[in-house]
Amino acid sequence: MHCPSKVALSATLAVLAIAMTAKADEPLLGFLSATDLLPKGGMEVEQQITWRHQKASGYFDLVEGQTEVSFGVTDSLQLSPELIYDWSRAYHNGPDGTTTPAEPYSAYFPSADAHFNQGMFVGAGLEAIWRVVSPYTAPVGVAILAEPIIGPHFYELELKSIFQKNFLDDRLVLLANLTWAPEIRDLPANPYADPGTTAAHPNTNIETDVNLGLGASWRFKADWSVGWEFQNEREINKFAIFSHSQWMGNAYYTGPTIHYGGAHFFATLTWWQQLPNAKNYLDPSMIVHGYDDDVDFEHRRIRVKFGYYF
């Protein structure tokens, strides 16, 4: 005969294991990725909305939407097909007081005094995360993320190394992300450009994002966590990662996160603020009061994620 206390303990551990598995992929932080994945056969639907706000002057808003469905192919491999779309408005937001659209709208050339207002489909992507080592069985968890995105005249490949360290019975989670993401845009001729410049003719623009992100999350009660994120973002011309002469923007963002993760539903809210110590090596005029106001950056970012586990 089994001891009742042992039976009760076994049942409790089983319930806890099921609960942990059900929300293994919950996004503890808004912008940084973790090594936690869905179990084999697991599935979730996630909606992500990011509001990018404020430039040097006037008004500027970019609202990015992303809808994805994730599948646990194995316990160490997760695939997530996704659709990406956004909407933006701008008016007299550039450092020189002209109307300058957000980077996804580089193919649009509004006049300097125009009220820009436009939505667009950015592209479709496939995010793949392979967990090399789990933080629950090794001192540090390691995962590799690859995410190609293809859209109308736009191509991007994001590669990310993810590191995770857990403390205090997994209530405290430390994360580090290193991202390399080249992107290609086929641009039409700019009718306002000097005829002797490249922009006056159809051309291909190539940039590479190199980001270093650090974050921490603390589960202070059942289903609830708070955290903090920090990220350095660098924009590089072409693929010249190690050539300082090709660096463009260099900005820092930081801010808090709050997260709820139940058995089937999760939600994460994150607020990022650009720090006033940015640099722009190719065009210093883009720096106003310490903030980089180039097309790749804005003063504030707010992201909400929510999803459902099946």
CA separation for the pair 32, 253 (Å, rounded) = 12
The reported pTM is 0.90
Judge whether residue 239 has pLDDT over 80. no
Asked whether the beta carbons of 286 and 295 are under 8 A apart, the reply is no
Upper half-sphere CA count for residue 221 (Cβ side, 13 Å) = 2
Residue-level pLDDT at 8: 45
Judge whether residue 144 has pLDDT over 90. yes
Under the banding of pLDDT at 50, 70 and 90, the label for residue 20 is very low
| pLDDT tens digits for range 215-233 | 999 999 999 999 999 999 9
Residue 249, token pair as written in the block? 């923007």
Residue-level pLDDT at 293: 96
| pLDDT tens digits for range 247-305 | 899 999 999 999 999 999 999 999 999 999 999 998 999 999 999 999 999 999 999 99
CA separation for the pair 124, 18 (Å, rounded) = 33
- Among 100, 112, 88, 87, residue whose Cα is nearest residue 56: 100
| pLDDT tens digits for range 112-143 | 999 999 999 999 999 999 999 999 999 999 99
Judge whether residue 47 has pLDDT over 80. yes
Upper half-sphere CA count for residue 220 (Cβ side, 13 Å) = 8
C-alpha distances in Å from residue 295, one per residue of 103, 121, 181, 235: 5, 18, 17, 11
CA separation for the pair 225, 100 (Å, rounded) = 38
